[in-house]
Structure 1
Amino acid sequence: MFLSPGNKEGDLSALSRGQRFQKAFTSLHNLHDAVTLKSAASSLVNEDLIPTPPEKRTWKALDFFNYWWSEAWAIATWSVGSTLITLGATVRDALLVVLFANVLSAVVIVLNGRAAAQYHIGYPVLSRTSFGIYGQYFVVILRALLGVIWGGVTLYYEAEFISICLRCIFPGWMKLPNKIPASQYITMQVMVSFFLAFLSAIPFMFIHTTKIRHLFSVKSVVVPLASMGIVIWATTANGGVSADKLVDESKKTSVSVFAWGLIGQFNAVISTNSALIVTVPDLVRYSKTKNAQMYGQALGLPLSQTICGAFGIITTAALKNMYGEAYWNPYDMLNGILDHTYTSKARAGVFFASASFAFSCLCTSIATNVIPFAADITCLAPKYVNIIRGQFIWLILAFAIVPWRIVSTANGFLSFLGGYSIFQGPVASIMIVDYFIIRRGNIHIPHLFIGNPTSRYFYTRGINMRAFAAFVVGFLLPLVGFVGSFGHKVSSAATKMFNLGWALSFLVGGVAYWVMCMMWSVPGDDGSGKFEEKVEEAENTTLDGTIFEAEERRMSGEGKGEGETREMQVPVAVV
């Protein structure tokens, strides 16, 4: 970990872990010292915010492929065909929409990961280049809130699958008396299962992002095999797919309505990836080579989402022909199978499938919620929080928000989260335009850790007003339609713009930012040289502890008017 010359561990280094733990509770001063990170040399840096050192760049192309391949095997992807088929789309149309939406997502993901792969910095630090040293806090909080809420909801979904596993083991599981009041919107069975889901997540909170890749490698094999087993059983038991059973001719509408419906679903598929599009720098910063993220990410997502969506459609069609009901949701489907046939063979198969989907939910929550939230909170409180501590904070908050109430009663709130992507689209496009067009791939790493006007990323009081203006312009067009999604009456034009949602906000936000930067140029000479000529310089540079000592003095009101910062020359100690 990186320490400034002024940070000393003193006598504590000679004590055992148990002795340090006991000493921490002998006084408030010792407790504060115990929880303070020795690597937090300023309000802008700690061990998980600095550029990733070479020994921690552990993600290879196969790891990125496994991550994106595994990430697609989730509840949302399995049931992605439900709305498309309901609109009157054929199975082929539905799968083409899913494929092309994910191809576009993969392209944007690779673009947004480029800077992190070159400079090995995560989203919180990278966002300082475009939104400003202090403006970054807004976009970081914007994403962190989403991570907590969806994280809790995903744990609840995991609990549903755990409950099905227990139903397979114990025939009387669903008959257990429920003493929890109906006003709490949860049953005894699901509450027990949620507690088990909470416990299952604890061991993974100890694993740093540099090592968590192995989890996704396991998921990339286990969950697809379980899903394939469900498809094979369903089509065999049904004697075929029976895809025609899903098509309801009475629900077919005019060509115009149908086309805009498909566009809306195209946007919805991208929207499910919107958090991952913004999150990707927090993974790519650990890339072993500069192009590993490109090869792994470009292939993994489009292939897996299309195959998983196809499996969901095929299974739903077969079961509808058998049982007369379309089970789009996986846990409804598995419960439905047990309702119709509770044989030992069916229970064994459903148990394995449910356990696999429970594992899938856990991995999905780690990938899309734990990793980004932990990275975000390190920048909000770098003196006390690193990634491991941030992951435990996420787990506590995910339980504290009582997600079963959100799922059961907050339909409007879930609709809000579903349309939340219109606020994330501009963030991604602004960062991409800033890196590729405005700065031509050149970032001055030392200036990302200086919290005063000598930093080229300080802008106006630490905020890049161009980026925030472009952010607002980006989401304004689909905003009226977003309001209409809650049941308010809006014009058809507003609804159509909301159907374009993420794509519209992404495009408009990026163009607006480019125009504003052309009118009011950004500070520094980042865009005046060759493309990414600063990458090699960054690789050969280490952060100077004196920069952080000066920053600490500035924050405490000392040393004003003195030379508070200087370019880095002396390597920081690594211990």
Structure 2
Amino acid sequence: MAPPSEYTFSEKVRFAFSSPQNFHQAITLDSAKSKFINEDLVPSPPERRTWSAWAYLSYWWSENWNVSTWSLGSSLITLGLSIGEALLVILFANILSAIVIVANGVAASRYHIGYPVLARATFGMYGHYFFVLIRAILGIIWGGVQLYFEGQFISIMLRCIFPSWARMTNTIPESQGITLQVLIGFVIAFIVTMPFMFIHTTKIHYLFSVKSIIMPLACLGVVIWATSSNGGVSAGVLSTPADKSSIAVFAWSIVSQFNSVMGSNSALIVTVPDLARYSRTPKSQIIGQLLGLPMAIVCAAFGVITTAAVQNMWGEAFWNPYDLFNGILDHTYSSKSRAGVFFASLVFAFATLGTSIACNIVPFAADITCMLPKYINIIRGQILCLVVAFAITPWHILTSAPTFLNFLGGYSIFQGSVVSIMLVDYFLVRKGNLDIGALYDGSSKSKYFYTFGTNWRSIVAFIVGFVVPLPGFIGSFGTVTVSASASRLFYLGWELSFVFGGVIYWILCLVFKVPGQEDCTRPFHSMVDDDWVLPDGETSTGVSAYPQVPVVENYDEYEKKVENGVRVNEI
């Protein structure tokens, strides 16, 4: 029988379902040479390094324009901050996030490997699975929530087209937390999103280029409508100013909001290697990401201005855009307002799709690839994420699980130490040197096998990192009373976990040397080759083999040659 690769699509389907053995053969990836390697886990070959500095800049600029960022500034103001104070908190938190993101993308852009493979060097060949899993679970949950948001906007679009849409009888019990209209929009959102799951990460940056243009224009249109209808901004009506008589109370309020912004960025800070690995040059991800994220201040400002103007007009604050659009239709259902809301909802639905792909689906796909490399690649992982996100009925999470949502809000205390440990391991312990071949070697002789496949130093540092703010995190649920000091430590949750995790790991590595640490005496002296070497020494070109790591005496000269298109084996 001919191999399935030679069949047409219909023949492959018939072959796959002809017997259990054939089904297993059909879903097994040819590139899976072991449980640690497949086509999307090996270093990206040159043809997959497609992300330029502009691609990263447009990615972050477009990613700034989303429901969460729009609502963030307004929600901070409800806590007593002025508009200027809220926007400054967002700006400086995003600047810090951008710096850490760029630092965490350096190894990926030089070795062209993603977060799951990089995590093997820090946490061990088996220990890394836990840190990949906690990110994958988060990707599914928020992927479902973003799909629900997308469905909200689609439902609004249908309301603009059909005047009877809002009056349609809702046959779903109120206890389910969703209406028939929104459920229809949710199903449509799933169908619309599915085709994008077949696009590999190397090509998805075109979606963000489109979003980076149309989304700001749509938001600008909403702001112009709000301010012109109100006759101004009316910024002072949003909240009661914070009590600044106590400098300490006000300062801790600022710190708490700063930490909340860092928390919202924490998942992407950890998994940014899954994007940085596709950088054309190491400098591409630095320029694009360092400039892109701080520009989120523009979207947050638009959200604040719009919310203030609308509240002054109608006496009600619409903190998120889908409530705002429904509010507009409630107050005026003219042809002009319907057209405006339809196109704004269309753009926001598209933007939400992009946010879900960037923040949840792509990271999940990369994560699950390392767990089941024999059966899952990036494309299959993306499809799996969307299907599971659809199945978890995310509206139940939003409407009936406030405690769980509170947990997700404080999840950053478990993320801060992960990224700091990885940064210390790469920059200080190994001085930028990774043994790429060892990252795919699961034998006990591998330098990244450590103790029973786990680097106990990183595990201890991780625990210490989140233990410090943990009492305040528990107290945030309201079921246990904790001291003011514990609460304030939680206000610095991400920052404390980042600092303590990294410092403890550095100390442990000084006392208990990691395998191969003594070899890392010269910074950044090795790079991954564009050719691959099979385990038996047979040279091959392609994603199915192990990479060779040559020694480079002059890193700066090497990097210039690579940027000019010279292959490693020609240097």
Give the TM-score normalised by structure 2: 0.93
Change in CA separation of 1:226 and 1:354 when aligned onto 2, cut-off 3 Å: same
Letter in 1 for 2:292: G
Aligned counterpart, 2:310: 319
Alignment check: 8 A CA contact 1:156 1:404 kept: yes
Aligned counterpart, 2:320: 329
More displaced, 237-246 or 20-29?
20-29
1:501-522 Cα shifts (integer Å, max 9, x gaps): 1111111101111011011010
Aligned counterpart, 2:188: 196
Aligned counterpart, 1:224: 216
Letter in 2 for 1:265: Q
CA distance in 1, matches of 2:318, 2:349: 18
Aligned counterpart, 1:19: 11
Tell me the secondary structure at the aligned position of residue 522 of structure 1. coil
Alignment check: 8 A CA contact 2:532 2:542 kept: no
1:352-387 Cα shifts (integer Å, max 9, x gaps): 111111111111100000000000001110000101
More displaced, 19-28 or 219-228?
19-28
Q: CA deviation at 1:396?
A: 1.1
- Determine whether 1:457 maps to 2:448: yes
Aligned counterpart, 1:126: 118
- Determine whether 1:294 maps to 2:263: no
Alignment check: 8 A CA contact 2:53 2:285 kept: yes
Task: Work out which of the residue numbers 410, 417, 421 in structure 2 matches 1:419.
Answer: 410
1:304-333 Cα shifts (integer Å, max 9, x gaps): x10011001111111111111111111111
Alignment check: 8 A CA contact 1:438 1:527 kept: no
Letter in 2 for 1:460: T
Task: Work out which of the residue numbers 155, 160, 167 in structure 2 matches 1:163.
Answer: 155
Change in CA separation of 1:441 and 1:376 when aligned onto 2, cut-off 3 Å: same
1:43-82 Cα shifts (integer Å, max 9, x gaps): 1000000000001100000000011111111111111123
Equivalent residues in 2 for 1:52-91 (5 A)?
Answer: 52-91=44-83
- Determine whether 1:211 maps to 2:203: yes
1:224-283 Cα shifts (integer Å, max 9, x gaps): 110000011111111111111113148767332221111111010111111110111000
Q: CA deviation at 1:489?
A: 1.0
CA distance in 1, matches of 2:245, 2:308: 21
Change in CA separation of 1:545 and 1:19 when aligned onto 2, cut-off 3 Å: farther
Change in CA separation of 1:329 and 1:339 when aligned onto 2, cut-off 3 Å: same
Tell me the secondary structure at the aligned position of residue 79 of structure 1. helix
Letter in 2 for 1:482: F
Letter in 1 for 2:439: L
Q: CA deviation at 1:91?
A: 1.1
- Determine whether 1:468 maps to 2:459: yes
Which blocks of at least 5 consecutive residues in structure 1 are unaligned?
1-8, 547-567
CA distance in 1, matches of 2:138, 2:102: 22
Task: Work out which of the residue numbers 232, 237, 240 in structure 1 matches 2:232.
Answer: 240
Task: Work out which of the residue numbers 340, 363, 366 in structure 2 matches 1:372.
Answer: 363
CA distance in 1, matches of 2:458, 2:219: 43
Tell me the secondary structure at the aligned position of residue 468 of structure 2. helix
1:442-495 Cα shifts (integer Å, max 9, x gaps): 001000000012111000011000000000000001111111111121110111
- Determine whether 1:405 maps to 2:396: yes
Aligned counterpart, 2:549: none
Letter in 1 for 2:317: A
Q: CA deviation at 1:545?
A: 4.5
Percent same amino acid at aligned positions? 57
Q: CA deviation at 1:405?
A: 0.6
CA distance in 1, matches of 2:119, 2:355: 24
CA distance in 1, matches of 2:187, 2:408: 25
More displaced, 101-110 or 79-88?
79-88
Letter in 1 for 2:316: E
Q: CA deviation at 1:526?
A: 6.4
Q: CA deviation at 1:87?
A: 2.7
- Determine whether 1:539 maps to 2:522: no
Q: CA deviation at 1:12?
A: 3.8
Letter in 2 for 1:351: F
1:154-177 Cα shifts (integer Å, max 9, x gaps): 111111111111111111111100
More displaced, 471-480 or 338-347?
338-347
Tell me the secondary structure at the aligned position of residue 74 of structure 2. helix
Aligned counterpart, 1:146: 138
Tell me the secondary structure at the aligned position of residue 173 of structure 1. coil
CA distance in 2, matches of 1:66, 1:543: 36
When the two chains are superposed, the root-mean-square deviation of aligned CA atoms in Å is 1.5
Q: CA deviation at 1:335?
A: 1.2
Change in CA separation of 1:232 and 1:24 when aligned onto 2, cut-off 3 Å: same
CA distance in 1, matches of 2:503, 2:350: 41
CA distance in 2, matches of 1:16, 1:161: 39
Alignment check: 8 A CA contact 1:102 1:302 kept: yes
CA distance in 2, matches of 1:146, 1:13: 35
Letter in 1 for 2:408: L
Q: CA deviation at 1:529?
A: 2.8
More displaced, 447-456 or 16-25?
16-25
Tell me the secondary structure at the aligned position of residue 534 of structure 1. coil
- Determine whether 1:394 maps to 2:363: no
More displaced, 479-488 or 462-471?
479-488
- Determine whether 1:570 maps to 2:539: yes
Q: CA deviation at 1:83?
A: 3.4
CA distance in 2, matches of 1:541, 1:23: 35
Change in CA separation of 1:187 and 1:524 when aligned onto 2, cut-off 3 Å: same
Change in CA separation of 1:104 and 1:134 when aligned onto 2, cut-off 3 Å: same
Alignment check: 8 A CA contact 1:88 1:252 kept: no
CA distance in 2, matches of 1:252, 1:161: 39
More displaced, 82-91 or 498-507?
82-91
Tell me the secondary structure at the aligned position of residue 210 of structure 1. coil
Aligned counterpart, 1:514: 506
Letter in 1 for 2:156: I
Task: Work out which of the residue numbers 432, 442, 453 in structure 2 matches 1:441.
Answer: 432
Alignment check: 8 A CA contact 1:442 1:526 kept: no
Alignment check: 8 A CA contact 2:531 2:541 kept: no
Q: CA deviation at 1:20?
A: 2.7
1:499-549 Cα shifts (integer Å, max 9, x gaps): 0011111111011110110110100146533211111xx225514154xxx
Tell me the secondary structure at the aligned position of residue 415 of structure 2. helix
Change in CA separation of 1:250 and 1:434 when aligned onto 2, cut-off 3 Å: closer
Alignment check: 8 A CA contact 2:75 2:319 kept: no
- Determine whether 1:182 maps to 2:174: yes
Q: CA deviation at 1:573?
A: 5.4
CA distance in 1, matches of 2:242, 2:534: 69
Aligned counterpart, 2:297: 306
- Determine whether 1:490 maps to 2:482: yes
Alignment check: 8 A CA contact 1:87 1:258 kept: no
Q: CA deviation at 1:13?
A: 4.2
CA distance in 1, matches of 2:449, 2:399: 44
Change in CA separation of 1:395 and 1:526 when aligned onto 2, cut-off 3 Å: farther
Tell me the secondary structure at the aligned position of residue 442 of structure 2. coil
CA distance in 2, matches of 1:132, 1:541: 25
Aligned length: 543
Which blocks of at least 5 consecutive residues in structure 2 are unaligned?
545-571
Alignment check: 8 A CA contact 1:447 1:455 kept: yes
Alignment check: 8 A CA contact 2:46 2:530 kept: no
Q: CA deviation at 1:11?
A: 4.0
CA distance in 1, matches of 2:75, 2:251: 13
Alignment check: 8 A CA contact 1:83 1:265 kept: no
CA distance in 1, matches of 2:542, 2:259: 48
1:166-216 Cα shifts (integer Å, max 9, x gaps): 111111111100111222221110110100111111000100000000011
CA distance in 1, matches of 2:90, 2:519: 37
1:10-56 Cα shifts (integer Å, max 9, x gaps): 64444333323222222211111111000000010000000000011
